[in-house]
Amino acid sequence: MTSPDPALKSRFLVLHDYGMGGVWWWVHARSAREVLETFAEVEVVDSPDVIERADGDLDEVDIDEPTMPPGLDGLRAKRDIQRGRPGFGALADKSIVHLRARWDVDGEDPAIYLMEVGSDGRRLRQVELADDGTALKSSPDDWTFNPPVVDLFDPEWADKEIDPDEFEAAWLRAQHVEGEQ
C-alpha cells in the first residue's frame, strides 16, 4: 500500500472569528487538521454556501511558506509557542468538552463559567456561577453571537476540563437567564 503524496494540498477557507467580525484567508494545506495545528484560534469553514460566497480577493497562502500575511502570521507564532507546552492538542479530538474557567471582565462581577463546547470551539450550553452563589444557565438561543471561544489545541484549556456529570449537575441546579424560561 502506498501512502498519499505529502506534497498534495487542498485549498481551505480559514476564518479567525473574533466575535464582532472575522478575518478570512485561503490556505493551501494537506488537511484541515494541519491548518488547525498550525494556526491558533482559527476554524476551517466547510459550508459549501459560505465557500461559494467567499471573496475572491482573499489572501491565498501555502501553509509551508515561511512568511504569512498580517494576522495569520501572529496566529502561527502563537501556535508555535503552544505546541511545545504540555497539554497541546489534548482536547482536539473530542466532540464535546466540558470546561470550568474563571473570568474577571472589567466592569462586571467575576464569575466561574462551566461550558459545554463542541468540536468547533463554540459553546453549546453554559452555566455562570457568580461569587454570591447565583447560577444562571444559557444556550445559543440566548446569545446574540456565538463565536468559537475555545481553541481545543490550546494547552491552556487542558487542565480546565471537568467531568460531564459535574456540568450536568450544575445545569440542573441553575436558573435560566432572566427573561427566558
Distance CA 157, CA 141 (A): 25
How does pLDDT run across 16-42, given as a tens digit for each residue? 988 778 899 999 999 999 999 999 999
How does pLDDT run across 124-181, given as a tens digit for each residue? 999 999 888 899 999 999 988 888 899 999 999 999 999 999 999 999 999 998 754 4
Q: Same structural domain for residues 117 and 164?
A: yes
Contact status, residue 12 vs residue 35, Cβ threshold 8 Å: yes
Look at residues 28, 58, 83 and tell me which one is the last residue of a structural domain.
83
* Range 30-35 contact pairs with CB under 8 angstroms and sequence separation of 24 or more: 30/6, 30/63, 34/63, 35/63
Look at residues 58, 83, 108 and tell me which one is the last residue of a structural domain.
83
Q: Which domain holds residue 42?
A: 10-83
Residue 171, H or E segment? helix 164-173
Instruction: Identify whether 55 is part of a domain.
Output: yes
Q: How many domains in the chain?
A: 2
What pLDDT, on the 0 to 100 scale, is given for residue 107?
A: 62
Q: Same structural domain for residues 109 and 169?
A: yes
Q: Same structural domain for residues 101 and 142?
A: yes
pTM of the model: 0.86
C-alpha cell at 93: 479530538
Instruction: Identify whether 5 is part of a domain.
Output: no
Look at residues 39, 54, 83 and tell me which one is the last residue of a structural domain.
83
Instruction: Identify whether 2 is part of a domain.
Output: no
Distance CA 5, CA 164 (A): 40
